[in-house]
A and B are shown apart, each in its own frame.
Chain A
């Protein structure tokens, strides 16, 4: 299952956290939890209303429908929160960590730590829990998963809840360094590029791809004329498709016939 609206989920999560923190004046940790819970509910709703009727349709239709969903969510966010960028107030904003000559902002440290924690949690979840394995099975072949007794519909709902929750967390992590506005979901496209460069369906691959694209972009911005840094991610993606179509750490196996 592919969700092109993942970036929009991220944006919604960040906006929700903003609402809880700045408008309703709740405690920061509580608002994060609330934002993640609300986003899981949004994920389940998306699955029930939009994705479930599409079970059994080709990948292409599911892809199109999530693109449509992304546009709807962006318009909804524009309607509720307006188009001016908002900034999320965090308790750790503005503080820096100093170690001899190295100075890192706390926001960045939290992003790195949060990413590592999230990735290890996910890796554990997919490797070691029955639910995680059921999800992998469902993603590989719905019919076969159904035959071995997995409730495909329930698993799909849970998957959507989890992925929306993760998107919300990502949105909250990134909110202090970039501003929150309805267009921030476009970063999701870059995330796709990273995932494909690294190898779809492989967590370490996604991290490697992300690093490759991020570093490539910084260097292109430094050494190449303007305009190149915006396309670096996509140029790397196209090159990678030429050389290794399924990414650095690919999980593709060609079926033997």
Chain B
């Protein structure tokens, strides 16, 4: 077990808590950047998808895990990012520039959504964001001149200057770079006053208000940041799937994003990444499962969402803190080895109050 001797206040907001972390994260970065030399295109593609999901996961984690606002409509931001990016690429706008436009645009829409969403919490918020995502889905299907409607939209090839980014290796590296950048931005937001205010709002709105935090401002910022990250993920995802259709950004995707942050572990950026790995590899696991199941069982329509639902229920009942929470427990077991007690991690019981009386 490592005890950190703190000699200055700045140590509290350092990104790396000690040298060990610097070493291990550098190793991880080196491994990730050198993976294209070892892995086949298939695995690189899967990892790329994991990075893209992780970027969206960071966005949703900042909103749900750190600010405590539920969103059932994040697929809409993914869609907005993807469509904006490919629309501007189609107009001949350079790759990075059009990606920035789509990030800004989704942030703006996020701020707009925050206006009605500011006044409600909990279930109201969930239903409001759900309504928003259904409206966006309908707009995507009916605004034919921009989105191509139900026929869909072909995503132009990504290139920077004359360099094509289409190959698996380059696109993997691009996504990895954006992912690392997002993690850094996320970490920096979290240690800034805005991030601290977000956590305070999550833990108690009343006490946050009494500390002088402007709830409306912080919630709007949280929505904007979250939508921005998700829009970035959407822009990258557009290249990954290659052909956009309105129904690729439906409720199921929103649930999948939420599943990602819940399974990964709410309230930690690690959780977003674990969740992304989990979500990224679950289709493969399901495909394997389908092969081994009896014919009748494998052909059920909605098997995939059903299994998502099952996992969601099991995780929420048995490990509400997700993969990251489980990892922390395992780590503390080894750190405190002979002295570990299960009750260390026992939850305190709280009781439900209505959201109607506030």
Instruction: Report how far A235 CA is from B116 CA in the complex, Å.
Output: 11
Q: Are B354 and A68 in contact (CB under 8 A)?
A: no
- Known A65-B312, A70-B309, A237-B127: A141·B301 in contact at CB below 8 Å: no
Instruction: Say yes or no: A142 contacts B119, CB within 8 Å.
Output: no
**Which residues from chain A sit less than 8 Å from chain B, CB to CB?**
1-2, 50, 53-57, 59-65, 67-72, 74-76, 78-79, 83, 139-143, 146, 182, 189, 192-193, 196, 200-201, 225-227, 230-231, 233-235, 237-239, 241-242, 245-246, 251-255, 257
11 CB contacts below 8 A, A to B, read A1-B352, A65-B316, A68-B309, A71-B308, A78-B301, A140-B357, A141-B353, A142-B351, A231-B138, A235-B131, A238-B135
List residues of chain A with CB within 8 A of the CB of B117. Answer: 241
Q: Are B351 and A141 in contact (CB under 8 A)?
A: yes
In angstroms, Cα B83 to Cα A141, docked, is 45
Label chain B's interface by main secondary structure: helix
A190 to B262, CA, bound (A): 25
Set B302, B312, B320: member contacting A68, Cβ < 8 A: B312
B313 touches A65 (CB 8 A): yes
Contact A251 B313 (CB under 8 A): no
Contact A61 B131 (CB under 8 A): no
Q: Are B128 and A72 in contact (CB under 8 A)?
A: no
- Which of chain B's residues has its CB closest to A61's CB? B316
A64-B312, A227-B141, A241-B128 known; A75-B358 Cβ under 8 A: no
Find chain A residues with CB under 8 A from B115 CB. Answer: 242
Q: Which residues of B are in contact with A by a Cβ distance under 8 Å?
A: 64, 68, 70, 72, 115-117, 119-120, 122-124, 126-128, 130-132, 134-135, 138-139, 141-142, 206, 255, 258, 262, 297, 300-303, 305-313, 316-317, 320, 349-358
B141 partner residues in chain A, CB cutoff 8 A? 227
Give the CA-CA distance A142 to B353 in the complex, in Å.
6
Contact A196–B124 (Cβ < 8 Å):
yes
For A140, what are the chain B residues with a Cβ–Cβ distance below 8 Å?
353-354, 356-357
Residue among B135, B297, B312 making CB contact with A234, cutoff 8 Å:
B135
Q: Which of A2, A75, A233 has the most CB of B within 10 A?
A: A75
* Pairwise interchain contact B131-A68, C-beta atoms closer than 8 A: no
Is B258 a contact of A182 with CB atoms below 8 Å? no
Say yes or no: B127 contacts A193, CB within 8 Å.
yes
Closest CB-CB distance, B50 to chain A, in whole Å? 22
Q: A72-B310, A72-B313, A182-B302 are in contact. Are A64 and B355 (CB under 8 A)?
A: no
Residues of B within 8 A of A251 (CB): 356
Q: Are A201 and B301 in contact (CB under 8 A)?
A: no
